[in-house]
Structure 1
Amino acid sequence: MTKLSKQDKIDIYNKWKYYGKSSYQLGEEYGVVTSNLRYLFQLIDKHGLEILDRSPHSYSVEFKEKAIKRILTGNEAINQISLDLGLPNQGTLHNWLRKYKEDGYNVINHKKGRKSSEGQGQTNSRTSKANQRPKTEESRAYCRKQIYKKIGCLSLSKNQKPKAQEIVSAVTELRQELHVTVNFVLKVINSKPDLPHLSRSNYYYVLKHDDKDKKNKKIMERIKKIYEEHRHRYGYRRITAQLQREGIEINHKKVKRLMTKMHLYGIAIRRRRKYSSYRGTVGKIKANLIRRNFKSVMPNRKWYSDVTEFHLNGEKLYLSPIMDGCTQEIVSYTLSRRPVLKQVMDMLKQAYKKYPALNGLVFHTDQGWQYQNPLFQTWLKNHGITQSMSRKGNSLDDGMMEGFFGILKREMFYGFEKTFKSLDELEQAIKEYIEYYNTKRIKTILKNHTPMEYRNVILNQN
């Protein structure tokens, strides 16, 4: 595992706290185990960044003894105790507890540095074997108690007998926790009639048995490729749909299990305040003809539009798109550094050039000043388009566009702001995403088609 400097830890914490990066993404970037990063985040949240200034030092016997007693007698979680004490990592306390058991339940401050090489070769094998056996009757009783407890829980947690794989996993964990031999653990559990029994040969057979997902190697490779092709935007449901489109019969539960095993997770949702163009009543308000019945059975019957803003390095970029209520494609869009009327008028002209037969179309927006402008309303009327507006303060009345903005920003903007050096780069990224959204991103609501594929399906049916 990569050793992190103080500045690395601060950078990782800031990316997680303020830029929305997940612990898995940061672990991949810095080569650090995810659980260690989660502990680092909790440690800084509890003690502040000052905790990183603590220089490594030896803890006193009394300090260690109090910490260990909190584990053994206070029934407190080791992770929580480590956080309370401000220990640098969650493994420190585990090491203290292990050495405490090895040293006959006495806290000893071991000298640091390498042991003398003289005579080491003769004693290593004997010492390692001795450490594999509980030293006193008290320690043996403690080990037996822990074994009874762990193995007994396997039977209590289910109405049926535990599987051999579960018993083997528990035995392996007990070996590591208690530092005892396999024979000792198996002898203890096999001496109790009410515990599930396991032979030594069966233990090693199950331990070395091939991974059950070895036969799924090809499908796991394809899942990972789809995940990377779509830049981590697909969760298990959408990946299942894509596999089924390719003729692979697979259940979404299996895809979810395999993705979890490979630590592949979709992008987390982050919501931020939206841009509002409402300035009070500045023109003629239109009735709400949609009434949240967003879906249309044919293309070019219901269109939706709104304006959203992107903040980057103290500057703003405004996006104004039109979405079709049937295919959910982005019919046309414009980008501008200022929210001006020309932006929405150019958007309309682009859409009309693409689909000129618009008689009977309902065009729905919120009550933004652009949509109340006489020039905008006259253009719609002259092209046979009926205007519809959301009620004041009811953003859900324009829910289809709000949903698109949420998807867009979650999948290519939130958490990725640092990757864009200028508004020009951001503008290019938005253009590429909208092309991807229309032609490559499948939607379950469109029967696992992309918006453009669904348009062709609908038109071919009629």
Structure 2
Amino acid sequence: MRTRVTYPYEIKMKAVQLRLEGVPCKVVMEELNIRNKTQIETWLRWYKQGEFHRFKQPVGKQYTYGKGPEYETDFQRLEMENKFLKQQIEVLKKYEGIGKEVVGQAAVELVELLKVDIPIKRICMYLGIPRSTYYRWKWKSINPNSKHKLEQRIGELCKTNKYRYGYRKITALIRMEQVVNQKVVQRIMQKYGWQCRVKVKKRKKTGQPYHVADNLLNRNFTANKPLEKLVTDITYLPFGNKQLYLSSILDVYNGEIIAFTIDSKQDTTLVLDTLSQLGDIPVGCILHSDQGSVYTSADYQKAIKGKGITMSMSRKGTPADNACIESFHASLKSETFYLDRLTCTTTAIVEQTVRDYISYYNNIRIQTKLNNQSPINYRKLVG
């Protein structure tokens, strides 16, 4: 049977002091020759609960008895309370990255916890802060329009949208709840590094120079009604077990993806499948693309004419002529695969990620040019 070890009062208090200063349990045990880590945790719990009388009690059943006299004199009680509160606030200040606002919040929580037994004036005196400062911190913590609450809300919105939004869109979302200045939102996002993630810039291959149609779109990316101007393109999806390709068609009117196809082959069948998803097309509809071989092929041109669509093509080596669809494909990759580091995954996950993002892009993701509405919501509101 193991012999029960008794530790003197000085050892117990020294162990508690070291733990409050952030010294690891293992180091405390080695330095003070303490056998059990649980023993140190018990002493620390007593100290935080103000049960100082237990440190001088012997081992055994006495621990379960009544509290008994906590302090020999009032001076001893005040001295222990003072030491306890000062150590608490010092520990809070030692956390890396903690600022005045966080210390203020911690002080308010500490006062709220102890004010049942100790007057607020005395607690503030122990903490070394004026009582007016405590009430100011408390007012900020409960005021819904305080800077702290605003920072929390901005952080929640940035995290919810996976840091895809810049300060303008975050401001638009905040303004649905309260009045806020755009520059204030910008400063807060810069302070905590919540800005929109920078897109990885890539230059798309220009394709074949074979001329089939003029550049009728001429970078005029505005439309007065749905299905008036469409743009299409193919992008690579090199994130799975095999190379995949995404062919998509975007309506310039509201930026909605109205058709898309994912396949492992970049051939005419890929673009024909995407084109077949279009329903009734109004007269005069323009479909713009680059001069890739799939778009200049005879089968594709025949399908375009069969739907009564007017074909438009970018100039050679000028991806900016098709900027709308280029921007969408860049957003898709930067806000999913690059942001979530899905650069090496399965083919099924790649396909599902693209489908989920297109649904999110059409139904949820707001756009500044659409008066901070999603493409489908904008079409419903205006239409």
Same fold? TM cut 0.5: yes
1:249, distance to aligned residue in structure 2 (A): 2.0
Partner residue in 1 for 2:351: 427
Partner residue in 2 for 1:330: 257
CA offsets per residue over residues 289-321 of structure 1, 9 Å max, x none? 011111112111000000000212563111111
**Equivalent residues of 2:240, 2:343 under 8 A apart:** no
Structure 2 CA distance for partners of 1:310 and 1:417, relative to 1, 3 Å: farther
Structure 2 CA distance for partners of 1:213 and 1:393, relative to 1, 3 Å: farther
C-alpha distance in 2, partners of 1:333/1:448? 24
C-alpha distance in 1, partners of 2:156/2:231? 34
Partner residue in 2 for 1:341: 268
Partner residue in 2 for 1:255: 185
User: What is the correspondence of 1:394-405 to structure 2 with a 5 Å cutoff?
Assistant: 394-405=318-329
C-alpha distance in 2, partners of 1:212/1:258? 20
Which of 275, 279, 282 is the equivalent residue of 2:208? Answer: 279
**Equivalent residues of 2:248, 2:261 under 8 A apart:** yes
Q: Give the letter for the 1:396 counterpart.
A: A
Q: Give the letter for the 1:227 counterpart.
A: C
Which of 159, 164, 181 is the equivalent residue of 1:228? Answer: 159
Partner residue in 2 for 1:295: 222
Whether 2:165 is the aligned partner of 1:241: answer no
Structure 2 CA distance for partners of 1:241 and 1:415, relative to 1, 3 Å: closer
1:218, distance to aligned residue in structure 2 (A): 3.9
Partner residue in 1 for 2:48: none
Structure 2 CA distance for partners of 1:213 and 1:399, relative to 1, 3 Å: farther
Aligned residues: 260
C-alpha distance in 1, partners of 2:295/2:154? 44
Whether 2:314 is the aligned partner of 1:390: answer yes
Which of 288, 294, 302 is the equivalent residue of 1:370? Answer: 294
Partner residue in 2 for 1:141: none
Partner residue in 1 for 2:70: none
Which of 348, 357, 361 is the equivalent residue of 2:285? Answer: 361
C-alpha distance in 1, partners of 2:186/2:140? 13
Classify the secondary structure of the residue corresponding to 2:202: coil
Identical aligned pairs, as a percentage?
32
Whether 2:249 is the aligned partner of 1:318: answer no
C-alpha distance in 1, partners of 2:344/2:241? 13
Higher mean alpha-carbon deviation, 213-222 vs 334-343, is at: 213-222
**Equivalent residues of 1:365, 1:398 under 8 A apart:** yes
**Equivalent residues of 1:321, 1:347 under 8 A apart:** yes
Query: Any stretches of 5+ residues in structure 1 without a counterpart?
Result: 1-112, 116-168, 170-202
C-alpha distance in 2, partners of 1:252/1:212? 24
Structure 2 CA distance for partners of 1:405 and 1:382, relative to 1, 3 Å: same
Q: Give the letter for the 1:278 counterpart.
A: G
CA offsets per residue over residues 198-221 of structure 1, 9 Å max, x none? xxxxx9659876399643344433
Q: Return the TM-score normalized by structure 1.
A: 0.51
Classify the secondary structure of the residue corresponding to 1:315: coil
**Equivalent residues of 1:323, 1:331 under 8 A apart:** yes
User: What is the correspondence of 1:2-151 to structure 2 with a 5 Å cutoff?
Assistant: none
1:242, distance to aligned residue in structure 2 (A): 1.6
Q: Which has the larger radius of gyration?
A: 2
**Equivalent residues of 1:240, 1:255 under 8 A apart:** yes
Structure 2 CA distance for partners of 1:447 and 1:204, relative to 1, 3 Å: same
**Equivalent residues of 1:298, 1:458 under 8 A apart:** no
Q: Give the letter for the 1:416 counterpart.
A: D
C-alpha distance in 2, partners of 1:273/1:336? 22
Classify the secondary structure of the residue corresponding to 1:287: coil
Q: Give the letter for the 1:366 counterpart.
A: D
Q: Give the letter for the 1:222 counterpart.
A: R
1:340, distance to aligned residue in structure 2 (A): 1.6
C-alpha distance in 2, partners of 1:289/1:212? 61
Which of 266, 269, 275 is the equivalent residue of 2:199? Answer: 269
Structure 2 CA distance for partners of 1:211 and 1:328, relative to 1, 3 Å: farther
Classify the secondary structure of the residue corresponding to 2:249: strand
Structure 2 CA distance for partners of 1:421 and 1:324, relative to 1, 3 Å: same
Structure 2 CA distance for partners of 1:414 and 1:213, relative to 1, 3 Å: farther
Structure 2 CA distance for partners of 1:266 and 1:376, relative to 1, 3 Å: same
C-alpha distance in 2, partners of 1:364/1:233? 27
C-alpha distance in 1, partners of 2:368/2:203? 27
Classify the secondary structure of the residue corresponding to 1:411: helix
Query: Any stretches of 5+ residues in structure 2 without a counterpart?
Result: 1-29, 33-99, 101-127
Whether 2:364 is the aligned partner of 1:440: answer yes
Q: Give the letter for the 1:255 counterpart.
A: V
C-alpha distance in 1, partners of 2:260/2:345? 23
C-alpha distance in 1, partners of 2:198/2:139? 30
Higher mean alpha-carbon deviation, 230-239 vs 422-431, is at: 230-239
**Equivalent residues of 2:158, 2:165 under 8 A apart:** yes
Whether 2:268 is the aligned partner of 1:351: answer no
Classify the secondary structure of the residue corresponding to 1:442: coil
Structure 2 CA distance for partners of 1:241 and 1:368, relative to 1, 3 Å: same
Q: Return the TM-score normalized by structure 2.
A: 0.61
Structure 2 CA distance for partners of 1:233 and 1:213, relative to 1, 3 Å: farther
